[in-house]
Amino acid sequence: MQWWVWLVVALVVIAMLVVAVLAVQARRRRGGVLVDRSRRANRPTGGSA
């Protein structure tokens, strides 16, 4: 194969790796709202809004 074909393949592989790393990182940093089952209410009674 000609040299530029190898170049294109290498660039595609690098691009795929970068996208994969960014996707994994975005998943690691994604936030949420978690329920803590061990924690009890710390106010006596009554509304709060």
Q: Specify the residue, 1 or 36, whose C-beta has the smaller distance to other proteins.
A: 36
Distance CA 14, CA 16 (A): 5
Q: Is 49 in the site for other proteins (CB under 8 A)?
A: yes
* Unique residue bearing structure tokens 């006596």: 44
Dihedral class, residue 21 (left if φ above 0, else alpha if ψ from -120 to 50, else beta): alpha
Amino acid in the structure at residue 32: G
Query: Interface mask (CB under 8 A) for other proteins, residues 15-34, using x and -?
Result: ----------x--xx-xxxx
- Is 38 a binder of other proteins (CB under 8 A)? yes
What residue ranges bind other proteins (CB under 8 A)?
25, 28-29, 31-43, 45-49
